[in-house]
Structure 1
Amino acid sequence: MWDDGVVTNRSTLQGSHQVDVCVIGLGGSGLSAIDEALSHGASVIGIDRLAVGAEAAGRNGGFLKTGLTEPLHSALEAWGESAIPVYRKTIDEVESVFAQAGEGGRRVGSIRLATTDAEVADCETHLEALRSASLPGEPYDGPEGVGLYFPIDGGFNPLLRCRRLADQVTAGGAVLGERSEAVSVATGRVETSQATVQATTVVVAVDGRLEVMFPQLAVRTTRLQMIGTEPDPGVTVACPVYADFGYNYWQQLPDGRLAVGGARNLHSDDEWTHDGGVSDAVQTDIEVVLRHQVGSQAAVTHRWSGHSAYTEDGLPVGREVEPGVWVVGAYNGVGNVLGAVYGREAVRAGLGLGPFDLPDSNA
């Protein structure tokens, strides 16, 4: 649904290269890492086993959501004292992502919708935590129902954002290689089937399938399915909405089409998978959300999925796995902004510009 059919045709990386930074993964976090490296005058090569934004970064729900992997009051328990400073970093970073998205971004806020008494109570606790930390968020009582409204959030075309950022960093001097899967990653050296890159700093910015590259990490990849519809002039969804503790989510695009995802919690055992495509069971339940929660009878025109890695403790992975090799990922389904924060931090740490000052999962 996000793809306009434009084929970028970036080259496969070939030959031998020597740079300051090599980034593996050309999604939002990897491209942000490249952007950060360029801002410090570093030479950079970025590679991806597929293409720019071809995986979760370009196939997600299109939410520009500030905050952490879970509501602030829950995050304070898992993240500790770092929760609020990291939250503030996402507020700063969302401005960059809106700029990268260009015409594909919409600063319209987002709604956390409460559909049960338990979620109403959780929203009240969530709001108290936000107010205590002087972070943006306010009660919502409107056409969608009741819950919380986050005024600085919004929606965007995630694939367009990746492609625009890729063009930007290429213009800034970075070399990008598509269809260039890393087959070996070690201190100072990355190899593909057709190229060798010597780099002082290596940043692996991969979310879904992270455990394939690093089996020692206790992360699991899940499939996140979505549907898209034809325009529905009879429905108005003013901003991105997530409900049922984040398991269901939807937004309406400026042309009236709807993008709806979720239902993973009803089929979680089946969705811990690296398989692509969609399943009839999950797609049927997403259509239930479309018909009954969103209230649209529009015809479904698109069905797709992406992959995201999750950790048991809800914290992303962010660490130096061996000298000069940094790994960031496993954003638990909310990597559009948080992933960029982690990618930038890894580059700064790798270049010796400061410590890696973000939480790391116990995975």
Structure 2
Amino acid sequence: MTESGPTSGHVASYYAATAHRRDARPALRGAEQADVCIIGAGFTGISAALELAERGFSVIVLEAVRVGFGASGRNGGQIINGYSRPLDVIAARYGEQAGRAIGAMALEGANIIRERVEKYAIACDLIPGGLLVALSPRQMQWLEREQRVWAAHGHSGLVLLDRSGLAPHVASARYVGGLLDPLGGHLHPLNLVQGEAAAVESQGGRIFENSRVIEVEAEPAPVVRTTQGEVRSKYVLVCGNAYIGDLLPELGGKIMPVSTQVLATEPLGQLAETLLPSNVCVEDCNYVLDYFRRSADGRILYGGGIVYGGQDPASIRKKILPLMRKTFPALEGLKIDYAWSGNFALTLTRFPQIGRLSPSVYFSHGDSGHGVTTTHLLGKLLGEAVAGTASRLDVFADLPYYPFPGGKALRVPLTVLGSWYYRFRDRMGI
């Protein structure tokens, strides 16, 4: 991974450099007890912890490094509604009943974020508005269909824009049109997850950092062990996502870590406002997509590119700079202050997986690059299930989940081969 900062424990990102909290929480030492032990202090784990703590459960969260160390503290900071697969694809794949139920929850993740930011006064630079842009007429046709599909699920506020309609939002000649979502938005993700973690603690929850879990014993009663301590609980929630490693092989075989890269320019002043006048966040419609936005201090944060398997590219700057300059030629020659990488968990179906390993051990992972909102929703569903209402969790848990063909040895080359086809389609505009 990208080199960590000397004291923060996080990778040397723009987010870590501007995080409100720098000091580490203590590590777990000795034996503890709680109603629920949660593995992983990213968005999923912290969302579940807050849901449960608000309901009166005693909660302990164990984090291997720092709150938000993984994708939750490194991502593009974009609030994108829905899932990594379109709603009509989900209905076609899993049936109309599942499609309706999943569609009914498609806006909930973003609503959870907004509600918690307001309730707990979390300072995370939350800005409304998201824009999905098309690079070809074929992609524009897809956006027109997306508008109709979302309207059928009750979200009628999406605004279709032609090339001239993009001008108030993004100053780039690359795009032929777009779809504006007023219920989208962007924020500082590390400050969000840290603020939510503080909210957990305000409700009586406890969080231990630098406490990597080395063993989970499910029966007869759950015990979660680290190198220096253990937690006995009634329930365990496994929320390690791309950073779960080999802790639970039955989970690791169903996901693949994938890295994505982000650059942050120097502060640009008026130029940043000229390039993104309305301050919405933007992502394109390509299979391997670009995403970008303004930061609160006037930088352009530009992300894109993927590396299957989770390794860093040889040079993050060389991988992302050409993409950024193609979109915004005016950024040629300007300084890049930060460049970092982070992993998300990809599933074979590109759809998140949530369910049970035993009556007392639950898991959620595999948001497949669409995690800021989905993790908040699924964390809440984990909390609901522990509290005794599992009907919404079971909508997801009842779906078929598949391992990657070829196992860990072949999942990367086979996925790369498949991606070439879709990248070719993007280049050809088909």
* TM-score in terms of structure 1 length: 0.91
- Write out aligned runs for 1:1-363 (5 A): 1-3=14-16, 4=18, 6-80=21-95, 81-101=97-117, 102-135=122-155, 136-141=157-162, 142-143=166-167, 144=170, 145=175, 146-187=177-218, 188-210=222-244, 212-216=246-250, 217-232=253-268, 233-234=270-271, 235-237=274-276, 238-245=279-286, 247-264=289-306, 271-275=307-311, 277-280=312-315, 283-297=317-331, 298-355=334-391, 356-360=393-397, 362-363=401-402
TM-fit CA distance, 1:362: 0.9
Alpha-carbon distance in 2 for matches of 1:42, 1:306: 32
TM-fit CA distance, 1:322: 1.9
Q: Where in structure 2 are there 5+ consecutive unaligned residues? A: 1-13, 403-430
**Bigger Cα displacement from structure 2, 298-307 vs 156-165:** 298-307
Paired residue secondary structure (1:75): helix
TM-fit CA distance, 1:206: 1.9
Aligned residue type for 1:348 = E
Alpha-carbon distance in 2 for matches of 1:252, 1:207: 27
1:186–1:325 contact (8 Å) kept in structure 2: no
TM-fit CA distance, 1:311: 0.8
TM-fit CA distance, 1:351: 3.2
Alpha-carbon distance in 1 for matches of 2:245, 2:363: 11
TM-fit CA distance, 1:290: 1.3
Alpha-carbon distance in 2 for matches of 1:317, 1:113: 28
1:79–1:359 contact (8 Å) kept in structure 2: no
TM-fit CA distance, 1:251: 0.5
1:55–1:307 contact (8 Å) kept in structure 2: yes
Alpha-carbon distance in 1 for matches of 2:161, 2:126: 19
Alpha-carbon distance in 1 for matches of 2:379, 2:181: 24
Paired residue secondary structure (2:241): coil
Percent same amino acid at aligned positions?
23
Paired residue secondary structure (1:85): helix
TM-fit CA distance, 1:41: 1.1
Paired residue secondary structure (1:22): strand
Alpha-carbon distance in 2 for matches of 1:99, 1:255: 24
TM-fit CA distance, 1:202: 0.5
Paired residue secondary structure (1:333): coil
1:201–1:350 contact (8 Å) kept in structure 2: yes
Paired residue secondary structure (2:148): helix
**Bigger Cα displacement from structure 2, 125-134 vs 33-42:** 125-134
Alpha-carbon distance in 1 for matches of 2:302, 2:227: 38
Alpha-carbon distance in 2 for matches of 1:85, 1:294: 40
Aligned residue type for 2:102 = V
Alpha-carbon distance in 2 for matches of 1:110, 1:322: 39
Aligned residue type for 1:220 = M
Aligned residue type for 1:263 = G
Question: 1:47-68: per-residue Cα shift (whole Å, max 9, x none)?
Answer: 1101100111000000112111
TM-fit CA distance, 1:99: 4.4
Paired residue secondary structure (2:298): coil
Question: 1:287-316: per-residue Cα shift (whole Å, max 9, x none)?
Answer: 122112134413211000111111111221
2:125–2:296 contact (8 Å) kept in structure 1: no
Question: Which is greater in Rg?
Answer: 2
User: Given the superposition, is the C-alpha separation of residues 295 and 98 from structure 1 closer, same or farther in structure 2, using an over 3 Å criterion?
Assistant: farther
1:78–1:313 contact (8 Å) kept in structure 2: no
TM-fit CA distance, 1:100: 4.1
Alpha-carbon distance in 2 for matches of 1:137, 1:84: 19
TM-fit CA distance, 1:192: 0.7
How many residues align? The count is: 355
Alpha-carbon distance in 1 for matches of 2:127, 2:324: 23
2:123–2:195 contact (8 Å) kept in structure 1: no
TM-fit CA distance, 1:94: 1.6
Alpha-carbon distance in 1 for matches of 2:317, 2:142: 28
**Bigger Cα displacement from structure 2, 56-65 vs 224-233:** 224-233
Aligned residue type for 1:26 = A
**Bigger Cα displacement from structure 2, 157-166 vs 347-356:** 347-356
Question: 1:121-143: per-residue Cα shift (whole Å, max 9, x none)?
Answer: 21122122112222242202312
2:80–2:184 contact (8 Å) kept in structure 1: yes
TM-fit CA distance, 1:90: 4.2
* TM-score in terms of structure 2 length: 0.78
Paired residue secondary structure (1:2): helix
Q: Where in structure 1 are there 5+ consecutive unaligned residues? A: 265-270
TM-fit CA distance, 1:79: 4.6
TM-fit CA distance, 1:231: 2.1
1:230–1:257 contact (8 Å) kept in structure 2: yes
Paired residue secondary structure (1:69): coil
